[in-house]
Amino acid sequence: MARIVIVGYGNPLRSDDGLGWRVAEELSRRLSPPEVEVIVRHQLTPELADDVRNADAVFFIDAARVGQPGEVTCTPVTLQPGTVSSHQCLPAGILALAQELYGAAPRAFAVSLCGECFDHGTGFSTSVEVGLPKLTALVEKMIGEEIARQ
C-alpha cells in the first residue's frame, strides 16, 4: 500500500499564507487515512524528516509570493543539503535530512498557489479562493497516480 504524506504549511493568521492548511484539511476530509497522512505546520522544521522518511510520496503545499496571483505551480523537489535550520527549512532540505539520517528520501513535490494578500487576517483573497479548487484537484489527481503506481 502506498503511503502519502501531505504537508500543508504557512501562517493561517496571515490571509493567503494559510492556504496550505485549507488544502491539507480539505484533502484529509476527502482521502482515506490509512494511505494518506496529513500534517499541518506553521513552518517546516527538521523533525519532519522523521515524518516523511517512510513515505512513497510527499506533497508540500504552500503559498507562493512570486508569480501571477491565483497561479498554481507544481515542482518536483530535489535534495539540497544545508537548507535546514531551526529558523528556516525548505522542502529540499527536509528531503536531504531524511536521506542523510535514515537513508530514505521519498519522491516529493512542492505545490503552490500564488497569493496576493499576506496581511493579518483569516480570509483569502479572491484569486486564491478561485485557485484553491484547482490546487486541491491537482494534488488529489497526483495522489491518485501515486497510489496507482504502487
Partner 1 sequence: MEQRRTIVIDPVTRIEGHSKITLHLDDQGRVEDARFHVTQFRGFEKFCEGRPFSEMPSLMARICGICPVSHLIASAKACDALMAVKIPPTADKLRRIFGLAQVVQSHALSLFHLSSPDLALGMDADPAKSNLFGVLEKHPELARDGIRLRQFGQQIIERLGGKRIHPAWVVPGGVSEPLSLADRDAILKSVPEALAIAVRTIEWLKRTIERFREEISTFGNFPTLFMGIVKPEVGGLTFYDGKIRIADASGKIVAEYLDPARYFDFIGEKVEPWSYLKSAYYKPKGFPDGIYRVGPLARLNVVDRCGTPRADQELAEFHELQRTAVLSSFHYHHARLVEVLYCVERMEQLLNHAEILDKHVRAIARPNALEGVGAAEAPRGTLFHHYKIDDEGLIRWCNLIIATGQNNLAMNRSVLQVAKHFVHGERLTAGALNRVEAVIRAYDPCLSCSTHVAGQMALHIQLLSPSGEVLDEVSRP
Q: What residue ranges bind partner 1 (CB under 8 A)?
A: 40-43, 46-47, 49-50, 81-82, 84-88, 96-97, 100-102
Nearer to partner 1, 46 or 67 (CB): 46
Spatial contact of 118 and 69, defined as CB atoms under 8 Å apart: no
Smallest gap from residue 11 Cβ to partner 1 (A): 10
Smallest gap from residue 109 Cβ to partner 1 (A): 23
Smallest gap from residue 126 Cβ to partner 1 (A): 28
Q: How far apart are CA 115 and CA 117, in angstroms?
A: 6
Nearer to partner 1, 44 or 128 (CB): 44
For residue 102, CA distances in Å to 49, 95, 99, 105, 106 come to 9, 10, 6, 8, 11
Smallest gap from residue 45 Cβ to partner 1 (A): 8
End-to-end CA distance of the chain: 7
Nearer to partner 1, 42 or 107 (CB): 42
CA dihedral 41, 123, 130, 66 (to 10 degrees): -60
Nearer to partner 1, 62 or 146 (CB): 62
* Assigned C-alpha cell, 33: 487515512
